[in-house]
Amino acid sequence: MELTWYGRTCVRLKGRDAVVVADPYQSVVGPTGRGITAEIVTYSHPDDAPLARAKGKTARDGKTIVPGSLEEAFILDGPGEYEIRHVLLTGVRTYRDDQRGTRQTAFVVELDQMHTIHLGDIGHLLTEEKLGDIGSVDIACVPIGGNLSATRAAELIAQLDPRIVVPMPVCEDERDCDEALAKFFHEMGGAPGPAQPKLQIAMSALPEETTVVLLESRGKQ
């Protein structure tokens, strides 16, 4: 499986059976300058700042505009269990704040025998019930610097106990993101290595201990 980060909480998972994109924003394009493509799209939450006069299909929430390059994809934006193109996906109701006020959906994607959880813009730790709904995960994509502090992000990772962690910096200011990432790596007990363009991993190559992989943003807004 190949995992690419396109900035903020936008992640692309490419497996043998399908390509899944999580949280694409209206203007995202890839490194080649073309729009991001996939067969399956998941949205953890509506766009916070929809583009003025944006064109494209609207997701079920009535607020999120799907990029033109993804209009033919199967779109998921709520809790439930789904099977699309031999890919199993589980949407779990979570929240963007610790007071459980603003809803969102975390998605677990089973691709190439690995379970990847995309936590969206989650803002809280998980209950035992939610952990049971999620099940075991191999890779966790976790937001850093937004509604979830670096310390709480590390605590959340300890709850999930994945083999690989992909941080998704979501702060508005780059310096704030650098500080949040540094603190997160400190909490995880390591130092950040050089950022990689993408993560290519097979089930047989998963590390024994939880490993944080820093990725470059491959998208342009």
Q: What is the CATH number of the domain that holds 82?
A: 3.60.15.10
| Within a domain: 217 | no
Type of residue numbered 220: K
Domain extent for 71: 2-212
Please tell me the total count of domains within the chain. 1
Q: State pTM to two decimals.
A: 0.93
What's residue 60's pLDDT? 57
- Does some domain include residue 136? yes
Residue 117 lies in a domain: yes
Dihedral, 56, 96, 84, 65 alpha carbons, nearest 10: 0
Q: Mean of the pLDDT values across residues 8-13?
A: 95
Decide the pairing of beta strands 139-144 and 114-118.
parallel
Given a cut of 90, whether residue 191 has pLDDT beyond it is no
218 occurs within a structural domain: no
Average pLDDT of the residues in 84-95: 97
Cβ distance 55 to 45 under 8 Å? no
Helical segments of the chain, H only = 128-134, 150-160, 174-188
Asked which of 150-154, 211-215, 217-221 is least confident by mean pLDDT, the reply is: 217-221
Q: How confident is the model at residue 28, as a pLDDT?
A: 80
Q: For residue 90, is it within any domain?
A: yes
> Is 220 a member of any domain?
no
pLDDT value of position 53: 52
- pLDDT above 90 (res 10): yes
Cα 199 to its chain centre, rounded Å, is 13
Whether 14 is covered by a domain: the verdict is yes
The residue with greater pLDDT, 57 or 81, is 81
User: pLDDT category, 173, cuts 50, 70, 90?
Assistant: confident
Q: Is 221 part of a structural domain of the chain? A: no
pLDDT at 55 exceeding the cut of 60: no
